[in-house]
Amino acid sequence: MKNTAIIIFVSVLMLGAIVQSDKSLAAGGHETHMENLEWSFDGPFGTYDRGALQRGLQVYRQVCSACHSMKHMYYRNIGALGYNEAQVKAIASEYMVEDGPDDEGEMFSRPGKPSDRFVSPFPNRKAATYANNGAFPPDLSLITKARAGGADYVYSILTGYEHAPKDAHLLDGQYWNKAMAGNVIAMAPPLADGMIAYEDGTAETVEQYSRDVAHFLTWAAAPDMEERKRIGIMTLLFLAVFASIMYAVKRKVWSDLKK
């Protein structure tokens, strides 16, 4: 029984370390309000919702992409959202991509192909910063990993706009957002009810747009998630069976010492 006690002790030590590190990361920051939503990708068996992903892509393409790049994404990647090859090609071809040099050494524009990266709205960081009042709109490819809270953070920012309290001091081009650290954000409220037309009859509200685009950005940051969980479960099952067998073997081998 002593062995069991030791195993429990070791497990507690490890869990302690895990919980401790998790807490320490969450700490810090100002008084912010973060929503805590339920997502279809939560939990060990959670998966992405293809409908939400497609709607989220639509929100990104029609709204976010005016300022925010997603430079780690390729048009071919959106095949994973449930589009077929022709649809992926059609979406890619809606963008103009600079290519070249051609045989005469000239750069030229051509319609996008699935093998192209998502076209960035600005040629470089300085141009993006200059065009946005001195505030650089961050690249969104990894945003749900790069902000504590992930999808909840994205949703909270997009739905967190409020009238600034009277004592708040906002400069031109600054807005009050209850989810932002420090409550001041340089992004104008990007969404409004009804501004994007959904084809599948889903509610056209700021909340729904925010939810969908947060879902899409979570996928963009972690496209491996569904396969990861699937392989993880198989690996755990294999190890559990193997460990049980080894435990039985251990008992059997050691039993001759008990005589």
Query: What residues line the site for another protein (CB under 8 A)?
Result: 2-3, 6-7, 10-11, 13-14, 16-18, 20-25, 27-29, 44, 72, 77, 138, 141-142, 145-148, 221, 223-224, 228-229, 231-233, 235-236, 239-240, 242-243, 246-247, 249-250, 253-254, 257-258
Nearest distance in Å: CB 153, another protein: 9
Nearest distance in Å: CB 95, another protein: 20
| Residue given tokens 């650290």 in the structure block | 181
| Residue 200 to residue 203: CA distance in whole angstroms | 9
Which contiguous run of DSSP H or E holds residue 185? strand 184-185
Nearer to another protein, 80 or 206 (CB): 80
DSSP three-state, residue 241: helix
Q: At what angle do helices 50-62 and 206-221 cross, to 10 degrees?
A: 100
Residue 199 CA from chain centroid, whole number: 24
Nearer to another protein, 6 or 195 (CB): 6
Nearer to another protein, 40 or 235 (CB): 235
DSSP state, residue 94: T
Nearer to another protein, 4 or 109 (CB): 4
Q: Which amino acid makes up residue 108?
A: F
| Residue 117 to residue 74: CA distance in whole angstroms | 4
Nearest distance in Å: CB 234, another protein: 10
157 and 180 Cβ atoms separated by less than 8 Å: yes
144 and 155 Cβ atoms separated by less than 8 Å: no
Nearest distance in Å: CB 197, another protein: 31
Nearer to another protein, 111 or 232 (CB): 232
Nearest distance in Å: CB 10, another protein: 6
143 and 151 Cβ atoms separated by less than 8 Å: no
Nearer to another protein, 51 or 223 (CB): 223
